[in-house]
Amino acid sequence: MENGESRFATCVFCDGSCPLSAACDEGELNLSPLNPAIPALCSKAVRWRDYVDHPDRIVRPRKNVGTKRNPVWEDISWDQALDEIAEKLTRVVEQYGPEAVAASEMPLNIGIGGVTRRFLNHLGSPNYITPLLLCMGNTAQVHRAVYGWFTGPNWDAADLVVYFGQDRGPERWPVEFHKLNAALARGARLIEVDPRTTETAKRADERIALRYGTDAALLLGWINVIISEGLYDREFVEAQTTGFDELACWVAQYTPEKVASICGIEPEQVVRTARMYAQAENAIIPWGVVGDMSVNSTAMLQCQCILRAICGFLNKSEMVFGPGIGALSNTDIADFPALSPEQRAKQIGIDAYPLMSFKAMELYRPAFERIGLSQPSDIMCCSATATPNLVFKAMAGKGPYPVKAFFAVGNNTVMSYADQGQVIEGLLNQDLVVVFDHWMTPTAQLADYVLPGDTWLERDFMGPVFDVAPATTFGHAFIEPRGEVRGWYDVLKGLADRMGMGEAFPWNTKRDLYDHILSPLGAPFDEASVRPAIGKEAVAHGSFLTPSGKVELLPSVFESLGIDPRPAYVEHCEPGVDESAYPFIIFAGARDAKSYNTNHHQIAHLRELEPEPLLFINPVDADELGVEEGAWVRVSTTVGSVELVAHIDAVQPEGTLRVPHGWWKPETAQGLENGLSGAQLHNDGLLFSGEAWNLDPVQGLPNLRGGIRAKVTV
């Protein structure tokens, strides 16, 4: 950037996606919030120089000339890397079929959507997975079953905010933190559903300190109270919903007394907070990851959807947009018609857990045809995915067919799913593992090739990378790319050309692709990107892209897939566990403010602020065990164990433990024999099973947050 010049972009050092601007003043580049009214700028973004110029960052392609168990790394050229990857990938396809190729991708981290699905669709593989399946992507599919699209809260209208476990702050989703502050400042009320008295919970008008994992029961109780007391929006229910009468009969069993017994709270609080929600003018239930990782996840999410609808908040404070007309979508770029019905049917998990599979996606086709679109949208890139734990089993040789080539794209796969041991076993059994990343992550340490990716500061950007909101967003590179790093589109283009798939990738550069995406607007990227965003016309705004065209409180999509459409609370049951030997209930996923999932542990300044992975334990429990503050302890479940530093915390409920997500130590020795730089010692994925007993029965996604037994040893 030249002196006096300014640019804008979206920070993806976490998934808060804060809009930032950069100004060059006397040769110094400084970042600031793009909107001064929302001053969101956390410590991770402030340390951007430490990130992009870190001496451990990968800036050249690497090849493992040893073995996966005993790797030996050497730098190679891009041409050599792409030549060899294309050759080995072709060999896998010829020997096992294209379905033997799988990929795990986080589009947010690579700054481009749709292209990986395009590559797989043209190759012939249906086996795409993403960590978003455990985080918002699966929420979107439940919303879709009820409304036909994902909802978004209208913070400007909200007079009541209901949070399930969210603790927003300057370092955790700062944009939403400022929106919450603004809402509370103008008089909005807050209900926080959380066993812990977090900083956000301290601000709440009502804090519901329920038992871990019982959120779905609480919501069923709310629905019962609201219906039985006639607090619902009768006009909207009669005109715009289906299934209400059956729902009313079904939820009658969830009395306040029963729900209170399940949740460990008082019946009066169930009734009081249900009334508080129903009697608001414009309530919102913002997304939170707590709803995405339990055996009752689908029921909890469906209940939230039901509440928004029957209380009349849809398209007032909870917006249902639908697909946008304007620039092409990520779904358009993915080119799903290129994948044949025969190959779609081979998708791993399509029969066992069909809600997020191609089978479910097809059920929305008539609704999209009603609005003149031939292809149902791939909402949050999770509408046509394989089932992660079953993919990893297939990679280990325990599936319906072999999976022998795997791509980890902007995603530390080893540490991003439950049952870390199963993921590692699958990677070790691959003929080809390719990782696209910034670091030698635990996943990269098991790869054959590690390709150096660009950061959000080094790339021009056009988004969003997920099909959810009707808008096109833009950003510009702030700095020149370091070393030989490349963007992910360049990698796929290079592979496609080498594998005879060049016609599927006719754009020579990512900029050419962007111009193609913008072609319906008649404005190339250089012209359109002078502003941060261009709105799209939402062709289904306010309507519902369900099979019936209405809000389906008991979704017909569920019934078509053989899923009971009636939400129910099920007490988690771990087979064969001795509760006296495992006396604690464990809750996974505590996010450290100075890191993001498995990233940023390399940054010295941030690491000094949060040097070790912490176990939160109540003082009473710590005293009984003889655990002292700062002591290293071992936390074990029946599945595995991790080593953590004890933090004695009065906020943590007695009899429960809270463990962090995504901890490894990049400064320690690499390789499987060295514990993958601490991932085999500290990551929460070691503690939780990927077997059917620990999965949501509808989504097939792991339970990390309800009823899992654990113990602590000193």
- Sheet (strand 160-164) strand order: 206-208, 189-193, 160-164, 283-284
* pLDDT on residue 355: 96
- Identify whether 143 is part of a domain: no
* pLDDT on residue 25: 84
One domain, residues 258 and 370: no
* pLDDT on residue 291: 85
* pLDDT on residue 428: 98
- Report the greatest alpha carbon distance in the chain: 70
Local confidence band at 51 (pLDDT 50, 70, 90 cut-offs)? very high
One domain, residues 514 and 478: yes
30 is in which domain, residue-wise? 6-52
One domain, residues 393 and 534: yes
Mean pLDDT of 272-295: 94
What are 208's strand-pairing partners?
193
One domain, residues 315 and 332: no
CATH code where residue 457 lies: 3.40.50.740
* pLDDT on residue 223: 98
User: d(Cα 683, Cα 700) in Å, to the nearest integer?
Assistant: 21
- Identify whether 207 is part of a domain: yes
- Identify whether 561 is part of a domain: no
Length, in residues, of the chain: 714
- Identify whether 419 is part of a domain: yes
* pLDDT on residue 3: 81
User: d(Cα 57, Cα 452) in Å, to the nearest integer?
Assistant: 8
- Identify whether 396 is part of a domain: yes
* pLDDT on residue 606: 94
Q: What is the pLDDT of residues 313-357, one digit of tens each?
A: 999 999 999 999 889 999 999 999 999 999 999 999 999 999 999
- Mean confidence (pLDDT) of the chain: 95
3-state secondary structure of 34: coil
* pLDDT on residue 705: 85
> How many C-beta neighbours within 10 Å does residue 332 have?
20
User: d(Cα 59, Cα 54) in Å, to the nearest integer?
Assistant: 10
Q: What is the pLDDT of residues 84-122, one digit of tens each?
A: 999 999 999 999 999 999 999 999 999 999 999 999 999
User: d(Cα 356, Cα 437) in Å, to the nearest integer?
Assistant: 26
Contact 493, 474 (CB under 8 A): no
- Which has the closest alpha carbon to 302: 567, 513, 102, 520? 567
Using the predicted structure, report yes or no on whether residue 527 has a pLDDT greater than 80.
Answer: yes
Active site residue 335: no
One domain, residues 387 and 402: yes
One domain, residues 311 and 327: no
User: d(Cα 398, Cα 113) in Å, to the nearest integer?
Assistant: 31
User: d(Cα 99, Cα 466) in Å, to the nearest integer?
Assistant: 24
Tokens of 619: 């003082």
Q: What is the pLDDT of residues 620-636, one digit of tens each?
A: 999 999 999 999 999 99
Using the predicted structure, report yes or no on whether residue 1 has a pLDDT greater than 80.
Answer: no
Local confidence band at 377 (pLDDT 50, 70, 90 cut-offs)? very high
Domain boundary among 320, 346, 379: 320
Domain count, the chain: 4
One domain, residues 340 and 458: yes
CATH code where residue 44 lies: 2.20.25
- Which has the closest alpha carbon to 100: 425, 391, 447, 491? 391
Mean pLDDT of 294-308: 96
Q: What is the pLDDT of residues 578-599, one digit of tens each?
A: 999 999 999 997 778 899 999 9
* pLDDT on residue 289: 86
Q: What is the pLDDT of residues 129-143, one digit of tens each?
A: 999 998 889 999 999
Local confidence band at 413 (pLDDT 50, 70, 90 cut-offs)? very high
Q: Which residue has the higher pLDDT, 5 or 619?
A: 619
CATH code where residue 183 lies: 3.40.228.10
One domain, residues 375 and 436: yes
Q: What is the pLDDT of residues 448-488, one digit of tens each?
A: 999 999 999 999 999 999 999 889 999 999 999 999 999 99
One domain, residues 247 and 369: no
One domain, residues 378 and 424: yes
Local confidence band at 573 (pLDDT 50, 70, 90 cut-offs)? confident
CATH code where residue 594 lies: 2.40.40.20
- Choosing from 15, 50, 351, 490, the catalytic residue is 15
* pLDDT on residue 173: 86
What would the DSSP string read from start to end of 386-405?
A: --HHHHHHHHTT-SSS---E
Local confidence band at 537 (pLDDT 50, 70, 90 cut-offs)? confident
> Which helix (DSSP H) or strand (DSSP E) does residue 537 occupy?
strand 537-538
| Long-range residue pairs from 188-192, CB within 8 A, at least 24 positions apart, any chain | 188/158, 188/159, 188/160, 188/161, 189/159, 189/160, 189/161, 189/276, 189/280, 190/160, 190/161, 190/162, 190/163, 191/160, 191/161, 191/162, 191/163, 191/273, 191/276, 191/277, 192/163, 192/166
- Identify whether 392 is part of a domain: yes
* pLDDT on residue 22: 92
Using the predicted structure, report yes or no on whether residue 214 has a pLDDT greater than 90.
Answer: yes
- Identify whether 543 is part of a domain: no
Contact 386, 348 (CB under 8 A): yes
- Identify whether 455 is part of a domain: yes
Domain boundary among 281, 301, 320: 320
Using the predicted structure, report yes or no on whether residue 535 has a pLDDT greater than 90.
Answer: no
One domain, residues 311 and 343: no
Q: Which residues contact 84 (CB under 8 A, 6 or more apart)?
A: 63, 449
Q: What is the pTM of this model?
A: 0.96
One domain, residues 387 and 528: yes
Mean pLDDT of 172-197: 94
Q: What is the pLDDT of residues 436-458, one digit of tens each?
A: 999 999 999 999 999 999 999 99
* Beta strands per DSSP E along 200-308: 206-208, 241-242, 283-284
